[in-house]
Amino acid sequence: MRIMKKVFMGTMAIVMGALFTSCNKGNEKEIIRVSHNQAADHPTNIGLLAFEKYIEENLGDKYDVQIFPNELLGSQVNTVELTQTGAINFTVASNAILESFEDVYQIFNLPYLFTSPEHYHAVMDDKEIVDPIFKSTKKSGFEAVAWLDAGTRNFYTVKKPVLTPDDLKGLKIRVQQSASNIRMMQLFGGSATPMGFGEVYTALQQNVIDGAENNELAVTSNKHGEVAKYYSYNMHQMVPDIVIGNERFLSNLSPEERVIFDKGFQIISRVQRDAWGESVEKSIKQAKEEMNVQFFYPEVLPFQERVLPLHQEVMTSNPKLVPIYEKIQEVGKSMIGGKENE
């Protein structure tokens, strides 16, 4: 899963060179570098720009927040490692990558864990559930400070639509770099091909892979719809993206500064989520009208039945997830009960 050492060291040299240059210029403000792999018009970038504005309005005499979109500072694996060292202050990481640092994150990669977007949001906003998970990587040099909505993950393919799990047989599908996602694809019947997000377009174009699985914005913002023309709503996952921060930087903030940063983290999540729904609608319209992508709505139950055994496999192999899993199920049941009693 680790990127090539040469690439990592090259990016590290660039970042450290930038740090050295800024210090030599006599800039008294501390630069806060924030990295992510999405385009400038993506809800993630919109949320981070709101964070930049808020921090500089309140602490602009001390901090200069700089946002680096489009993997400018490297892939997610790369920037997580740079955040560990402190070369980058914050980065947006996929839940799948964080699973390799602390396997408690495995819980969010389970397919069909949530019964609805409302269930998903309620769980992610429940501090009793997520705070212990977010703080679990402190020993690795970083902690999660906010979660971002990444919608539902669905299959999109180059040569044919995926209407049943059997349609995945023989197809090489890009998945996120985690053991859970590889196993999920095995249960679906496809061939899992883990790779970084920035490699997907070329891999689709050159037929290295037959398809991928992600939300609608990957089709348009990252241009995957120029190659993959079939998008199928099997809705196998609702997995958050996570904003992580360097532990040393966070621990060195004064109590007053930490209050402001914590408010800033809340702003990232709120603004990003507010922008998400509108962006998805625009993305679907663009994909249909400008890229000729076709959207399909297969029956979800056959897909669920294929991968639900993964829940028990994961609970057996990682027992510490059991109480978290049970709490998530309780939230879902309470929401269903509330609707029935209305």
Query: Among 233, 231, 214, 235, which Cα is nearest to 288's?
Result: 231
Are the C-beta atoms of 144 and 279 separated by less than 8 Å? no
Predicted TM-score of the model (pTM): 0.86
Residues 6+ away with beta carbon under 8 Å from 143: 134, 135, 137, 244, 245, 247, 250
Q: What is the CA radius of gyration of the chain?
A: 20
Sign of the Cα pseudo-torsion (7, 8, 12, 13, in order): negative
Segments of the chain with pLDDT less than 50: 1-9, 11, 13, 19-26, 339-342
> CA of 34: how far to CAs of 64, 80, 246, 328, in Å?
11, 11, 11, 31
Return the pLDDT at 96.
Answer: 87
The three-state secondary structure class of 241 is: strand
Return the pLDDT at 235.
Answer: 97
**Torsion, Cα of 102, 108, 111, 115 (10° steps):** 160
Neighbours of 330 (CB within 10 A): 12
> CA of 241: how far to CAs of 91, 93, 134, 269, in Å?
10, 6, 12, 10
Are the C-beta atoms of 141 and 84 separated by less than 8 Å? yes
| Amino acid identity, position 70 | N
Return the pLDDT at 177.
Answer: 84
Residues in the chain: 342
The three-state secondary structure class of 207 is: coil
297-321, pLDDT tens digit by residue?
A: 999 999 999 999 999 999 999 999 9
Q: Name the helix (H) or strand (E) containing 212.
A: strand 211-214
Return the pLDDT at 27.
Answer: 59
150-169, pLDDT tens digit by residue?
A: 999 999 999 999 999 999 99
Residue 245: which region, alpha, beta or left (left: phi > 0; alpha: psi -120 to 50)?
Answer: beta
Sign of the Cα pseudo-torsion (4, 9, 14, 19, in order): positive
Are the C-beta atoms of 76 and 281 separated by less than 8 Å? no
